[in-house]
C-alpha cells in the first residue's frame, strides 16, 4: 500500500486530505509540525509527501529543501499545497523541483489522482517505457527521463496530435508536434491530457531532424506553461473562441510590447492584416505558435483594442488548433 505523509498546520486541511486519500486506499500519516514531519520522513520515508507551502516556523519550501538534503528522502516525490491565486508559489514550487502542485481548496478525487500519479514512476510499470498520459502526464514523463539521463525517442499519441521528443542523456534536443517545433511544440504537448506515451532507447544521432533545437530547457518551459495558464485564467473573458471572427484595428500599443515580451504580439499583429477578418483556426495555421500561447496573446490584443470582434460573428463548434 502506498504510504503518504501529509504536512499542514491547518487541521481542517489535514482532515480533508487524509479522508480523501484513505478513501482512495492510501496509508496516510499526518503532521501539523514541519520539524516533526522532517524527523518522521527521514527516519521512515513514505512513498509521497504532501506539503503545505505556508506554515509557521518552517515553510513548505524549507521543509522540501531539508528533505532533498537528507539521503533517505533525496528522491522522495513531493506534492505542494497552496491557496488559490498564489501563482508565484506554484511557479516557485516547479522551480524548486516538486513533482506536482495542488490548489486549495482541492477536489478530493483530484488530490488522490495526483498523489497516485507521482507515487508511481513510469519505470515501475511492467512495460517500463510506455504508458497512459492519464496516469503519467507529459511533464512527469519528461522529468523522469531527465532524472534518469535517458537517450532516445519519446513519442506522445493523442487525439489532439502526436508529439516527438529527442533526448540525449536526459537533455531534450528537439521537439515537434504537427507543424510546431521547439519550445512551442513542448508547450502544446503539455496540453495532451489523454493518450499514450512510448520511449525507445536508441542513439540520438539517428534521430537528428533538420529542425532540431539545441538543448531545450524543459524546466523553464514548464514554468512558462504555468505562467501562461495563470495569465489565461485571469484574462479568460477575453479569450477568442473557434469560429469567432476578429480583425486588427491598429498597431500594438508600446506598453503591451513592453509588458508582454514573452508573447509573439508583433508576429501576430503582422499576420493580421488591418481590417481583414480572420479566425483563431485560420491564424493558427499561419503562425507556428502553441494553442495556449496564441489564445493568451489574442486575449491581450483584445484587451488593448488592437484586436476587435467583427460584428455578427459567433463561435461555431470547430475544434481548437493543436
Mean pLDDT over residues 287-315, rounded?
Answer: 85
Query: Looking at residue 257, what is its pLDDT?
Result: 93
The rounded distance, in Å, linking the Cα atoms of 3 and 26 is 6
Mean pLDDT over residues 27-42, rounded?
Answer: 95
Residues 168-195, buried b or exposed e (16+ Cβ, 10 A)?
A: bebbbbbbbbeebbbbbbbbbbbbbeeb
Residue 11 has pLDDT above 90, yes or no: yes
Query: Looking at residue 50, what is its pLDDT?
Result: 96
Point out the least confidently predicted range of 61-75, 210-224, 267-281.
Answer: 210-224
Q: Please, are residues 30 and 14 in contact by the beta-carbon 8 Å criterion?
A: yes
How many CB atoms within 10 Å of residue 231? 18
Query: Looking at residue 293, what is its pLDDT?
Result: 96
The full DSSP string for 160-194 is TEEEEEEEETTEEEEEEETTEEHHHHHHHHTT--S
Query: Looking at residue 188, what is its pLDDT?
Result: 95
Q: What is the pLDDT of residues 135-163, one digit of tens each?
A: 888 988 998 888 888 888 899 999 888 88
**Three cell numbers written together for 314:** 459567433
Query: Looking at residue 214, what is its pLDDT?
Result: 61
Point out the least confidently predicted range of 43-57, 77-91, 165-179, 246-260.
Answer: 77-91
Residue 299 has pLDDT above 90, yes or no: yes
Point out the least confidently predicted range of 79-88, 134-143, 177-186.
Answer: 79-88
How far is Cα of residue 33 from the mean position of the Cα atoms in its chain?
A: 30
* Local confidence band at 272 (pLDDT 50, 70, 90 cut-offs): confident
pTM: 0.65
The rounded distance, in Å, linking the Cα atoms of 289 and 58 is 41
Q: Please, are residues 38 and 82 in contact by the beta-carbon 8 Å criterion?
A: no
Amino acid at each position: 500500500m502506498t504510504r503518504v505523509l501529509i504536512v499542514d498546520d491547518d487541521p481542517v486541511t489535514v482532515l480533508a486530505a487524509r479522508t480523501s486519500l484513505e478513501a482512495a486506499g492510501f496509508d496516510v500519516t499526518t503532521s501539523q509540525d514541519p520539524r516533526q514531519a522532517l524527523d518522521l520522513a527521514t527516519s521512515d520515508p513514505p512513498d509521497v509527501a504532501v506539503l503545505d507551502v505556508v506554515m509557521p516556523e518552517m515553510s513548505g519550501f524549507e521543509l522540501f529543501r531539508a528533505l532533498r538534503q537528507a539521503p533517505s528522502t533525496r528522491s522522495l516525490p513531493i506534492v505542494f499545497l497552496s491557496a488559490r491565486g498564489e501563482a508565484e508559489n506554484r511557479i516557485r514550487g516547479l522551480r524548486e523541483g516538486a513533482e506536482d502542485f495542488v490548489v486549495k481548496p482541492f477536489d478530493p478525487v483530484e488530490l488522490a489522482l495526483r498523489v497516485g500519479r507521482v507515487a508511481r514512476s513510469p519505470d515501475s510499470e511492467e512495460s517500463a517505457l510506455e504508458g497512459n498520459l492519464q496516469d503519467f502526464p507529459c511533464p512527469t514523463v519528461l522529468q523522469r527521463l531527465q532524472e534518469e539521463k535517458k537517450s532516445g525517442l519519446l513519442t506522445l499519441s493523442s487525439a489532439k496530435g502526436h508529439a516527438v521528443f529527442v533526448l540525449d542523456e536526459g537533455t531534450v534536443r528537439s521537439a515537434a508536434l504537427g507543424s510546431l517545433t521547439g519550445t512551442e511544440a513542448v508547450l502544446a504537448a503539455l496540453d495532451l491530457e489523454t493518450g499514450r506515451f512510448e520511449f525507445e532507447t536508441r542513439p540520438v544521432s539517428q534521430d537528428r531532424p533538420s529542425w532540431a533545437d539545441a538543448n531545450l530547457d524543459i524546466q523553464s518551459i514548464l514554468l512558462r506553461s504555468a505562467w501562461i495558464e495563470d495569465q489565461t485564467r485571469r484574462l479568460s473573458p477575453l479569450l477568442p473562441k473557434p469560429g469567432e471572427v476578429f480583425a486588427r484595428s491598429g498597431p500594438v500599443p508600446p506598453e503591451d510590447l513592453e509588458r508582454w515580451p514573452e508573447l509573439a504580439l508583433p508576429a501576430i499583429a503582422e499576420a493580421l492584416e488591418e481590417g481583414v477578418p480572420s479566425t483563431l483556426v485560420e491564424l493558427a495555421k499561419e503562425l507556428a505558435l502553441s494553442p495556449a500561447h496564441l489564445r493568451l496573446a489574442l486575449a491581450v490584443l483584445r484587451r488593448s483594442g488592437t484586436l476587435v470582434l467583427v460584428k455578427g460573428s459567433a463561435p461555431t463548434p470547430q475544434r481548437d488548433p493543436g
